[in-house]
């Protein structure tokens, strides 16, 4: 049996369910699943699930952010496209510029 921990709050008898995990990760950055059977063992068995944002090459590098810079400029090309926010103006993250009508 697994226990789920979200923001330090524990709920026991948590079934490992992909849809439930996605729902739980919607509003938090990390989720822990603790094996209840390991609580009396020398080591506690824990599965940690962390939300990570990655570069999407299919999104389109030419798309423009609200800051005016292209999509790929929000990732570090020397560090395996790690998301860095905009390297040129420091905006907090890519938000696609809305087309003006």
The HSE-up count of residue 93 (CA atoms within 13 Å, CB side) is 5
Task: Write out the residue range of the structural domain in which residue 34 sits.
Answer: 2-50
Q: Calculate what percentage of the chain has a pLDDT beyond 90.
A: 22
Q: Same structural domain for residues 45 and 64? A: no
How far is residue 94's CA from residue 86's CA, in Å, rounded to a whole number? 8
* pLDDT tens, position by position, 33-80: 788 888 788 988 888 878 788 899 999 999 999 999 999 999 988 888
Torsion over CA: 39, 43, 47, 51 (sign): positive
Q: Same structural domain for residues 8 and 22? A: yes
Q: Same structural domain for residues 39 and 17? A: yes
Q: Same structural domain for residues 96 and 61? A: yes
CA angle 69, 29, 26 (to 5 degrees): 90
Q: How many domains does the chain have?
A: 2
Output the pTM of the full model: 0.58
How far is residue 77's CA from residue 70's CA, in Å, rounded to a whole number? 13
**Residue 36's pLDDT is what?**
80
């Amino acid at each position: 049996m697994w226990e789920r921990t979200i923001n330090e709050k524990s709920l026991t008898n948590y079934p490992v369910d992909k849809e439930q995990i996605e729902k739980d990760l919607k509003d938090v950055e990390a989720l822990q699943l603790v094996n209840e059977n390991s609580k009396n063992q020398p080591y506690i068995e824990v599965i940690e699930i962390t939300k990570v944002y990655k570069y999407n090459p299919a999104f389109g590098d030419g798309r423009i952010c609200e800051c005016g810079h292209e999509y790929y400029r929000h990732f570090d090309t020397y560090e395996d496209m790690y998301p860095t926010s905009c390297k040129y103006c420091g905006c907090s993250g890519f938000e696609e510029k809305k087309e003006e009508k």
